[in-house]
Chains A and B, each alone.
Chain A
């Protein structure tokens, strides 16, 4: 643990001063809010194609409509942005050439990789809280009034939903390490999204951890606790692979 503290402190310093993460956070929240507001406005146009895409949410009004639409957008759209952020946290060291400075240190490289994953988790939590607060403000601005107890619950559920979605992006860290840069991580993130979208249409979708958060977002009752509990298997497995890859890393290409 004694070497993990400086690793986390230095990674935290890099993240806090990072323009990339600040801009990603701001653009992500702005984009989700704009999409939610746009869909809520378009919902009243009775456009058949849009109605079909909205599914059960088209019948809803007020807070339930806002939170339903926001959950669907978060499940499908937030993962790529967070995955790209994670690809940058890992891949920047290779792209900027600073990886050579992370060798021959008393802080082991796998400790630095673990610190990067810890900082990613902290960033994701911050994004989740900010996004949820922004949705609350959007609902108030749209004149929905103060949420009732049930709506507060649905609003609060947006935080674990964002975190669960973010956990499924951790394979991007492994890909960015193996590919020595940002692009392999970004490509993997997009690949994960495509796989999740395809698997969502199968009967066993809820048992597939990449899809579980999205299905949980649409209908919490349709996903069991056991299925949700499988989601952390992705960050655990690919987090371990990332640490092993950093431990064994050679600058041979």
Chain B
């Protein structure tokens, strides 16, 4: 995920976005990408609305549409009651909702989310699921990392298993008892790596 977003440079291979290497992309191309990696973009001194307006500005959203996009995102992620609350007073789950809203509000075509549900409450998980489903229907490419296989199975078209930084293989999201299959595959991979 960090390679895709330019946070790390590859030691081998290359990362392409819309057919162009990301290190030669014009900066404007990033306006179509939304992401949350490790920490949400939520400054503690700013309110939810101010944080989202700041993120909209950094995504070069025109001023006349930014306020409306922020209002829609606040509604979509269930943040209406916290719209004028500073981030330092929000719970970890609500800060994560602010980060997710800032990653989704500009209708990106590529969405990258690292463990987006790890701090979310059940209501937040359902809101995120609906939001991602709507973006996927609109044609966005969405890459989500998660340890919650049940959750992943509900939203993913494709699942790729990773272990120790390497791809183990695909996992069929429609197959039964995903959790057990997941553990078996990872355990087998661990044993094979130790045997080498």
User: A9-B57, A100-B37 known; A17 and B8 CB under 8 Å?
Assistant: no
- Out of B8, B59, B99, which one reaches A252, CB within 8 Å? B8
- Out of B30, B39, B40, B42, which one reaches A104, CB within 8 Å? B30
- In this complex, the member of A9, A17, A104, A106 whose beta carbon has the largest number of chain B beta carbons within 10 angstroms is A104
User: Interface size class for chain B?
Assistant: 20 to 34
User: A9-B57, A101-B55 known; A96 and B43 CB under 8 Å?
Assistant: yes
Stretch from B44-52, B143-151, B160-168 contacting the other chain: B44-52
Interface: A10 (CB within 8 A): yes
> Nearest Cβ distance between residue A159 and chain B, in whole angstroms?
28
Give the CA-CA distance A101 to B57 in the complex, in Å: 13
- Out of B5, B27, B41, B50, which one reaches A107, CB within 8 Å? B27
> Nearest Cβ distance between residue A16 and chain B, in whole angstroms?
9
Contacts of A14 in B (CB 8 A): 43, 45-46, 54
Interface: A19 (CB within 8 A): yes
Contacts of B42 in A (CB 8 A): 98
Contacts of B27 in A (CB 8 A): 3, 105-108
Chain A 218-253: CB-based contact to B (< 8 A → 1; otherwise 0):
000000000000000000000000000000001110
Give the CA-CA distance A96 to B8 in the complex, in Å: 19
Q: Give the contacts of B54-68 with A (CB-CB under 8 A).
A: 54-55, 57-60
Contacts of A6 in B (CB 8 A): 57-58, 60
29 A-B pairs in the complex with CB atoms less than 8 angstroms apart: A9-B57, A10-B54, A13-B46, A14-B46, A17-B45, A18-B45, A19-B45, A96-B39, A96-B43, A97-B38, A98-B42, A100-B36, A100-B38, A101-B35, A101-B36, A101-B41, A101-B99, A103-B7, A104-B7, A104-B30, A104-B33, A105-B27, A105-B59, A106-B27, A106-B30, A106-B31, A106-B60, A107-B58, A250-B8
Binding site for A on B (CB under 8 A): 2, 5-9, 27-31, 33, 35-46, 50, 54-55, 57-60, 99, 102, 112
Binding site for B on A (CB under 8 A): 3, 6-7, 9-10, 13-14, 17-19, 96-98, 100-108, 250-252
